[in-house]
Amino acid sequence: MAKLGRPTKYDPDVTPGKVLEYLKLCQDSYDEKDRLNVKLPTTAGLANHLGVNKDTVQEWKKHPKFSVSLNKLLHEQENRLLDKGLSNEYNSTIAKLILSSNHGYADRKVSESKVDFEVNEKTKSIIDNILDDSKD
C-alpha cells in the first residue's frame, strides 16, 4: 500500500547534523551600542532553519538521532535561560516564562498550617522531663 501525502524531508544522515549547525548559528552577540542581540535556540527557529513546519520538528522526535540532537537544543536553551536570566543578561520574566512552559520549572508555593492541640497533664509531664534531660 502506498503512503499518502508528501514524502518527508527527514534524512537520517543529514537532518541531525543540521540541528547542530543551527545551534552553532545561535550565538548571542553585542551590537555597536553594546546592546545584547539574543539568538536563543528554539524549535520554531530550528523549523525555519530546516525549512519545515514546527509540527514536523515534533513529529521527527520519533527518529532517535534527531531526538538526541533536539535534546541538545533544548538543554542549550535551558542552560542559557538559567544562566543569563539569573545574571540579568536576559529579561528574567521572559526567561522564567520559557523555563516554566518548556522545561517544567514552576514557582514553589509554600503553605503553612497552624494546628492547635491540647496536651493532657501526663503528656505535658513527659515532655517537660525530656526537655529537662536534654539540658544536661
pLDDT digits (tens, 9 = 90+) for 45-89: 999 999 999 999 999 999 999 999 999 999 999 999 999 999 999
CB 99 within 8 A of CB 91: no
Q: Is the pLDDT of residue 3 over 70?
A: no
| Domain membership flag for residue 66 | yes
| Domain membership flag for residue 2 | no
| Domain membership flag for residue 44 | yes
Set of cell numbers at residue 127? 515532655
Q: Is the pLDDT of residue 2 over 60?
A: no
Quick check: pTM over 0.75? no
- How many domains are there within the chain? 1
| Domain membership flag for residue 124 | no
| Domain membership flag for residue 133 | no
CB 38 within 8 A of CB 28: yes
Say what percent of the chain tops pLDDT 90.
65
Domain that includes residue 68, residue range: 15-109
Q: What is the pLDDT of residue 4?
A: 66
| Domain membership flag for residue 59 | yes
Q: What is the pLDDT of residue 6?
A: 75
